[in-house]
Amino acid sequence: LQGILAPKPLAGKKLVITAGPTQEAIDPVRYISNHSSGKMGYAIAAAAQQLGCRVELVSGPCNLPSPYGVNRHSVVSAQQMLDTSLSLVNNADIFIGCAAVADYRAADQAQHKIKKSQATMTIELTRNPDVLASVAALDKRPFTVGFAAETQDIEKYALDKMQRKNLDMIAANNVALTGQGFGADQNALQVFWPQGKQTLELADKTALATKLMLLIAEHINKK
């Protein structure tokens, strides 16, 4: 009963979160993407909802059911993820960039299926907009949290990303380790903010998501 009556730590807060991969079309039948399963982002969306947040989940293509009580907005490309995120982030208290956004898209999208010809071919790619950095650059921005997928020098790259994108917090994971990160049910995170850090040990993504949201809850009131 005490648990039911206790105020939820994030009651009344609005969270916008990106999750999953993006797909960048090359022609009508092919795309560039990555191995993101969306599990971490969906677990965070579910945990935040349980802790009292109103959750807007901006999701790239992934095979996961919408978490209970969460509003899902399905997108395909990085540009769509940016447009949808910007349309939702007004009045948000927290933004979490958990998606594995494709860094590049085809410079020109072919109208028709590309036929094979030479033994080699080249596709010109152009940089995608950065969803997280765009939100962090807004005048009236929410508490902005990024993820960093790294395979080496995790702390150095994570701190660099936090500074460059002007984030309030960054959660780094080592995607080179098997059994955690991309596609797995478990993950471990090294979380950094400008004045400190905390390690969230290897655990199921659902348990880890709750720990991350509680850590964010501690910080948003200080902002």
Site for ligand CTP in 11-40 (CB under 6 A): 18
Instruction: Give the residue with the Cβ less far from ligand CTP, 134 or 206.
Output: 134
User: How far is the C-alpha of 68 from the C-alpha of 50, rounded, in Å?
Assistant: 9
Q: Are 165 and 130 in contact (CB under 8 A)?
A: yes
Q: How crowded is residue 46: how many other Cβ atoms within 10 Å of its Cβ?
A: 22
CB 25 within 8 A of CB 77: yes
User: Does 105 interact with ligand CTP (rule: CB under 6 A)?
Assistant: no
Among 31, 95, 147, 182, binds ligand CTP (CB under 6 A): 147
Give me the 182-211 binding string for ligand CTP, x by CB under 6 A, dash otherwise: ------------------------------
| Min CB(165)–Ca ion separation in Å | 11
Residue 180, CA distances (Å) to 56, 78, 92, 105, 183 in order? 25, 25, 30, 27, 8
Which residues in 80-99 contact ligand CTP (CB under 6 A)?
97, 99
Residue 48, annotated ligand binder? Answer: no
Task: Give min distance, CB of 184 to ligand CTP, in A.
Answer: 17
Q: How many CB atoms lie within 10 A of CB 211?
A: 16
Q: Looking at 49, 128, 180, 190, which residue binds ligand CTP (CB under 6 A)?
A: 128
CA distance 93 to 17: 11
Which residue ranges are tagged as binding site for CTP? Answer: 97-99, 103, 113, 129-132, 147, 161, 165
Active site residues: 34
